[in-house]
A = this chain, B = another copy of it.
């Protein structure tokens, strides 16, 4: 730090917004803090960047610590650094946006951190500016899922088209036509029919698909047009 006399040291925090889907609702993994400051209040899972650690590695460490999982889908969402956002000290927080399959979590790890899955429409008030972060993350999820095949990260390795549709209906909080959704999805060529059927159904069993991971990676940065009204919002009025 002596090399840059003009610069002042700042505390760098990492906060993780972790989305999950239980087949019905989109949920966030939040912790009820049993440590100071702000003990007893809800917050995002976070930590401090270590001196010899890259940002993404720090996020992975925190995510692994809480869920027991490695290789979680995570991307930078933004940086929050307003003066006074943390009343204890000047901290700047790099926020990560993460998606996990809720069934993969290590329940003991989650319990040890005093963490819970909470549906988006039941979110409590969070510490600091964490509510702003969550708002931006929900916006980002809607934005990105409309154009990128990102939703799969929230599902199990094998999934049915109706399950995926329920996920999208939860993300956008709107009903989607079954037939058009199915047609669009299959036309992407990203789904592989496993030949298996969903055994848990009480009625006709749906086909289980898995991702064509090769095409998925190749096409991840392509656009698509997934939600019906995506374009009209600009054109109308």
Contacts and interface: CB of A to CB of B under 8 A. Distances in A.
A91 B54 CA distance: 11
Given A1-B11, A4-B88, A8-B51, A233 B225 contact: no
A202 interface: no
A128 interface: no
A54 B83 contact: yes
Contacts of A88: 3-4
A52 interface: yes
Contact of A81 (B9, B49, B91, B146): B49
Interface string A88-106: 1111101000000000000
B4 A53 contact: no
Interface string A135-160: 00000000100110000000000000
Nearest to A52: B83
Contact of A49 (B10, B188, B221): B10
A90 B51 contact: yes
Interface residues of A, number: 52
Q: How many copies of this chain are found per oligomer?
A: 2
Contacts of A37: 3
A118 interface: no
A222 interface: yes
Contact of A53 (B48, B52, B83, B230): B83
A101 B189 CA distance: 42
Interface string A179-196: 000000001110000000
Nearest to A75: B78
A76 interface: yes
Contacts of A53: 83
Contact of A223 (B51, B55, B187, B231): B231
A215 B187 CA distance: 34
Interface of A: 1, 3-4, 6-13, 37, 48-55, 76, 78-83, 88-92, 94, 143, 146-147, 187-189, 215, 219, 221-225, 230-231, 233-235, 237
12 contacts: A3-B89, A9-B11, A10-B12, A12-B81, A54-B82, A55-B81, A76-B78, A76-B79, A147-B147, A188-B234, A223-B225, A223-B230
